[in-house]
C-alpha cells in the first residue's frame, strides 16, 4: 500500500485537490482536520479537546494525532490502494512517527507534494470560506496564527522529505482545474510505475 502526502499552508487547496486525486487515482482521502471536526460534531472527548486547539489555530499534541492516524492506518481494508494524506504530518515528530508506522505495517510513503500559494491569496480564500461556512478557525486573527504555526512547526517537514528524495511541489495559484492538471503531471508517471 503506497500513500501520498498533500502538503501546504492553510488555504493552499489540500482538501480541494485531495478530493480530486482520491477520485481520479482511487485513493482514500484522509484529512486529519476533517476527522477532528467530525469528533467535534459528535461532541466526543477527543472532539472537546480538538475544539479548544482548532479554534485557537494551534496544533493538537503530536501523541494524540499520531494515535489517531495509527488507528486509521491499522484498520485499512486490504483492498485500499493507498491513502492521500491531507494535513498530516504537520511536525517533524509526526513525520518520523509516520515513517515507523508505515514500515511496521509494510506500507510506504511514495511522495510529498507541496502546493505553494502566495500569502495574500491564502488569507483571501480563508476569509471568504469563513463568511460562507463559518469554520471556527477562519477569522482574520486565527488565520494569522495558523499561518505562523505553519511556518514555525510545519514547514520543516519539507526538508525531511527532501532529504529522503520524496519531495515535489506544484504552483497552487490559478484555477482548481489548472492546479489539478499540474498534480496529474507528477502522479501519472508514478501510477504507471506502481500499478
Annotated catalytic residues are 14, 90, 129, 135, 146
12 binds, among Mg ion, ligand AP5, none (CB under 5 to 8 A by kind): ligand AP5
DSSP 34: H
Residue with cell 515535489: 168
Q: Residue 83 forms beta bridges with which residues?
A: 28
* Shortest CB 60 distance to Mg ion, Å: 15
Q: What is the Rg, in whole angstroms, of the alpha carbon atoms belonging to the chain?
A: 16
Stretch that binds ligand AP5, among 54-62, 73-81, 99-107, 183-191 (CB under 6 A): 54-62
Choice from 59, 111, 157, 187 touching ligand AP5 (CB under 6 A): 59
SS3 191: helix
Work out whether 141 is an interface residue with ligand AP5 (CB under 6 A).
no
CA distance linking residue 110 with residue 46, whole number of Å: 30
Choice from 3, 5, 6, 15 touching Mg ion (CB under 5 A): 15
Work out whether 130 is an interface residue with Mg ion (CB under 5 A).
no
By the 8 A CB rule, do 72 and 80 touch?
Answer: no
Residue with smaller CB distance to Mg ion, 15 or 174: 15
> CA torsion angle for 106, 153, 67, 42 (degrees, to 10)?
-130
Instruction: Tell me: cis bond preceding 89? Omega within 30 of 0 counts.
Output: yes
Q: Which residues contribute to the site for ligand AP5 (CB under 6 A)?
A: 8, 10-16, 32-33, 36, 53-54, 57-60, 65, 87-88, 90, 94, 125-126, 129, 137, 146, 175-176, 179
Amino acid at each position: 500500500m503506497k500513500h501520498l502526502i498533500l502538503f501546504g499552508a492553510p488555504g493552499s487547496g489540500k482538501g480541494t485537490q485531495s478530493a480530486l486525486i482520491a477520485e481520479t487515482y482511487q485513493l482514500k482521502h484522509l484529512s486529519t482536520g476533517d476527522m477532528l471536526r467530525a469528533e467535534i460534531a459528535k461532541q466526543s472527548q477527543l472532539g472537546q479537546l480538538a475544539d479548544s486547539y482548532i479554534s485557537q489555530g494551534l496544533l493538537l499534541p503530536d501523541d494524540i494525532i499520531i494515535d489517531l492516524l495509527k488507528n486509521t492506518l491499522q484498520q485499512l481494508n486490504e483492498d485500499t490502494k493507498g491513502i492521500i494524506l491531507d494535513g498530516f504530518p504537520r511536525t517533524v515528530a509526526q513525520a518520523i512517527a509516520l515513517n515507523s508506522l508505515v514500515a511496521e505495517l509494510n506500507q510506504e510513503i511514495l511522495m510529498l507534494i507541496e502546493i505553494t500559494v502566495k500569502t495574500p491569496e491564502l488569507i483571501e480564500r480563508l476569509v471568504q470560506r469563513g463568511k460562507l461556512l463559518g469554520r471556527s478557525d477562519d477569522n482574520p486573527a486565527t488565520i494569522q496564527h495558523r499561518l505562523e504555526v505553519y511556518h514555525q512547526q510545519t514547514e520543516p517537514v519539507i526538508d525531511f522529505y527532501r532529504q529522503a528524495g520524496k519531495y515535489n511541489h506544484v504552483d497552487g495559484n490559478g484555477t482548481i482545474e489548472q492546479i489539478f492538471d499540474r498534480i496529474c503531471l507528477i502522479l501519472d508517471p508514478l501510477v504507471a510505475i506502481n500499478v
